[in-house]
Each structure stands twice: as C-alpha cells, then as structure tokens.
Amino acid sequence: MNDKIITGNPAHAAGAAALDTLVRPAIRALSAYHVPDATGLIKLDAMENPYSLPEELREPWLSALREQALNRYPDPQASLLRTTLRATMGIPAGMGLVLGNGSDELIQMLALALGGPGRTLLSVEPGFVMYRMIATVAGLDYLGVPLRAEDFALDLDATLAAIEEHQPALTFLAYPNNPTGNLFAADSIARIIEASPGLVVVDEAYAPFTDHSFLSRLGDWPNLLVLRTVSKMGLAGLRLGYLAGPPEWIEEIDKTRLPYNINVLTQASAVFALRHAEVFDAQTRLIRAERERLAKALAAMDGMQVYPSEANFILLRLPDGTAGPVFMGLKAQGVLIKNLDGAHPRLRDCLRVTVGTADENQAFLEALAKAV
C-alpha cells in the first residue's frame, strides 16, 4: 500500500500560476455578465418585447427559412438586409451602415477600432454596463460621469469638463438611458458632440418607445454615429444591431468585424420581419400604452418613487432597505424583475421592471402589493 499523501496536484498549481501570469489583470478582475434563469417565471427583467410573432406570420416565416442554404456561408455583407434596414428604418442617404451580432458586438468593434494605450472611453453613470466592460476588455481607460442624483439628467458641466480633461476617443450616450429610462436633453447631447475630439455614439436601443432620435441628424456633425438594435422591437432572439454614420468612419470600423458575423437565419428572419414592420409597430403601441398604465398604478402605491420613462421599462425607488426583500418576494410569487440595488451608488433601493403584456403587468402589480 502506498502511504504517501498527495497534498496537491502540481499540474493544477502550474495552471493557476499560468492564469495569473497570462490573463490580463483587468480581465481577471472582471465578473462575467450574469443572466438569471427565468424558467417558470413571468419574465420582466430584460427589456424584451413580450409579444411573439403572430400565428398568421409563422408559416410564411418558416417558408423563408426553408429556402436558406445552411451548407453555405451567409452573404458576408448581408446586402439584402442592409437595403431593407435602410428603407424601413429611415437611415439617411449617404450614411454608412455596418451590422453586428447584437449592438454589443458593434460596441466592441468601436472599442477595438479606436482603442489603444492611454485612450479613454467616456459614458455616463448609471448607464449601460457593457460600455465599461467592453472598454476594459479592449484595453481602453473607462470614465463614467455621474448623472444628476435627483433626476438622472445629464450633468452637462461635469461632462464637458471631463471631455476637456480626458479627451475621450469614444463617447457613448444611451438615448433613452438604460437603466434609468429617461431621455437626455437633445441640446446637451449636441453640446457634447461639438466638444468631443473623438467619436460620439448615440445609442438608441429603445428607439421604438420614444419619438425622439438623432438618426435624422446624421451628417450634421462629422463625429456622430447612431447605434440601434432590433431586439427591443420584438426580435431579441435574432441578435442584430446596426450602426450608421459617415461612411469614412463606418469603413474603418467595419475592418474590425469578423467575417460572416450575421448568420443566414438571422438575415432571412430580419428581412422577413422588417417587411412586416407594421405588426411590430402595433406591438410597440400596446407596450407604450401599458407603460403609461403601469406607471400610474405604481405611482399610486405608498412609498414608491417612479421615474419617467421613454423606454419599455420603468425604474422604481423603494423605501430604504426594502429593494432586496421586495425583489425576492416577487420572485417567490413567480415574477422576475431586475434588482439594481447595489449596482451603482445612485441606484440604491432601485428595481427595474420591463413593461409586459396587460396580464403580465397586472400579475406584477398584484405580486408587488403583497411583497411591499
């Protein structure tokens, strides 16, 4: 019998040492983006359109998919899809257009194209967490300028001062903002664009739910780009984003795009959906109406601060120390929303609920009344 005691595996120890040596410290310090399991729950946590493709469109959609050659690579330029997007979304003539596997990939492409040692990516906080994460992955310095504490509006003076001091290569402004839902003043955004030495990207992920946009203003400034996605209009499963702006910028950013990044099924499905845009427009109108109904019902509840929203979600602030217990109470009743308490100092005691169907919203309201 071998009585030698093995106290450790040398191979494992060497592997751990290699991790510490080879993986960049900034990556080691990151936490992976967490997506909670929503199985069996009313899912109101991810700003998705709650309506599925209407039954009468499913067979025509499947017919379009049956024609696709899965044994061949997709059109690398997604030419038909780009043409359809230009026509449906009103992209100004003369502007360049590049597609991404979701808007996340386009944020990463921008960071790769403009990144480098000592360069800065600027945004506002609280804001979309992927700006910071992708900046870190791409080796950019990240700077988050705090929004005003009382209403999450842009602090224009602080933002202009940060631009003057740090000279960012890339600035992201979500319009409306996630996770707060508010729309920044257009004049303030214009001042930021004019003051910026680098590119300014207005991220309009929630464009279906507001009547305000910078898309028609492309070309007014040489450093303005507009980023959008089809996810919020009801096509989140396709993972398709698009970036529009001056062609000379788009051509350079496109060099960071991996070949065949938009698969054949996404291309065919998106073209089909955009040709039936009126269906998704009708769904958007329902979501807007439900947003107003839900906001009024929430505002009528004692102790609830409801922030104005131009997106498909509503940010709530609960009494001190109650956000976590209320979140768990909702989940115990089968409703999943987003707990933002702890995500940023200015989101203390905050929860965010996605606007669902009328039935889902009612279930949420009834569960919330029991949880508070």
Residue 339 covered by a domain: yes
CATH value at residue 301: 3.90.1150.10
Q: Are strands 96-100 and 241-245 parallel, antiparallel or unpaired?
A: antiparallel
Contact 230, 198 (CB under 8 A): no
CATH value at residue 248: 3.40.640.10
Average confidence score pLDDT of the chain:
94
pLDDT for residue 226:
98
Evaluated on CA atoms 353, 355, 359, 365, the torsion sign reads: positive
Is the domain of 307 the same as that of 191? Answer: no
Residue 295 covered by a domain: yes
Is the domain of 167 the same as that of 226? Answer: yes
> What's the structural domain count of the chain?
2
CA dihedral 224, 315, 280, 243 (to 10 degrees): 20
Q: Residue 84 pLDDT > 70, yes or no?
A: yes
Is the domain of 213 the same as that of 318? Answer: no
pLDDT for residue 26:
79
Q: What angle do CA 350, 234, 330 make, to 5 degrees?
A: 30
Reading the block at residue 246, the tokens are 């001056």
Q: Residue 5 pLDDT > 60, yes or no?
A: no
Is the domain of 85 the same as that of 196? Answer: yes
Is the domain of 106 the same as that of 93? Answer: yes
* Chosen domain end from 243, 260, 275: 275
Is the domain of 199 the same as that of 332? Answer: no
pLDDT class of 11 with cuts at 50, 70, 90: low
CA 147/CA 59 separation, integer angstroms: 47
pLDDT for residue 309:
98
Which residues span the domain enclosing 339?
42-49+278-371
Residue 230 covered by a domain: yes
Per-residue pLDDT tens over the stretch 118-155: 999 999 999 999 999 999 999 999 999 999 999 999 99
List residues bridging with 125 in a β-sheet: 146
Contact 301, 369 (CB under 8 A): yes
Residue percentage of the chain with pLDDT more than 70: 96
Residue 29 covered by a domain: no
Is the domain of 282 the same as that of 268? Answer: no
Is the domain of 227 the same as that of 285? Answer: no
Query: What is the average pLDDT across 158-185?
Result: 98
Q: What is the CA radius of gyration of the chain?
A: 23
Residue 55 covered by a domain: no
Residue 151 covered by a domain: yes
Q: Residue 271 pLDDT > 60, yes or no?
A: yes
Is the domain of 317 the same as that of 264? Answer: no
Q: What percent helix, strand, coil does the chain show, rounded to 5?
A: 45, 15, 40
CA 273/CA 181 separation, integer angstroms: 26
Q: What spatial distance separates the first Cα and last Cα of the chain, rounded to whole Å?
A: 63
Per-residue pLDDT tens over the stretch 243-256: 999 999 999 999 99
pLDDT for residue 1:
45
Residue 318 covered by a domain: yes
Is the domain of 249 the same as that of 282? Answer: no
Neighbouring residues of 345: CB distance < 8 A, sequence distance ≥ 6: none
Is the domain of 194 the same as that of 82? Answer: yes
Higher-pLDDT residue of 296, 17: 296
pLDDT class of 6 with cuts at 50, 70, 90: very low
Is the domain of 131 the same as that of 262? Answer: yes
In 335-359, which positions are buried (b, 16+ CB within 10 angstroms) versus exposed (e)?
bbbbbbbebbebbebbbbbbbbbee
pLDDT class of 4 with cuts at 50, 70, 90: very low
* Chosen domain end from 240, 275, 310: 275
CA 110/CA 94 separation, integer angstroms: 20
